Amino acid sequence: MADNVDTQLFSNTYKLKELRVEHRDLDDVIDRLSCDPSVDQLELRRLKKRKLQIKDQIARLESSLIPDLNA
């Protein structure tokens, strides 16, 4: 049982790190594209939407990593 908990914790921590990197990369891309007046606005909106989805995933994972005080 403890091995499963440790494996899940490691997996969530690794996924959280990946999501943070992807979020930061998207932020950089969005910043660069926002400066270009010829950029496809639809693509820019899609990137922003994806960035928000990743932010939500990060928040959920961070919340799952916080121990339950009632446990």
pLDDT digits (tens, 9 = 90+) for 10-62: 888 999 999 999 999 999 999 999 999 999 999 999 999 999 999 999 999 99
Domain of residue 58 covers 13-65
In a domain, 45, yes or no: yes
Domain count of the fold of the chain: 1
In a domain, 47, yes or no: yes
Helix (H/G/I), strand (E/B), else coil: 40? coil
In a domain, 23, yes or no: yes
Give me the residue label for tokens 């996924």: 15
Judged against a pLDDT cut of 90, whether residue 9 lies above it is answered with no
pLDDT of residue 2: 63
pLDDT of residue 66: 80
Q: How many CB atoms lie within 10 A of CB 18?
A: 12
Residue 40 φ/ψ, nearest 5 degrees: -70, 115
Q: What is the pTM of this model?
A: 0.80
pLDDT of residue 44: 96
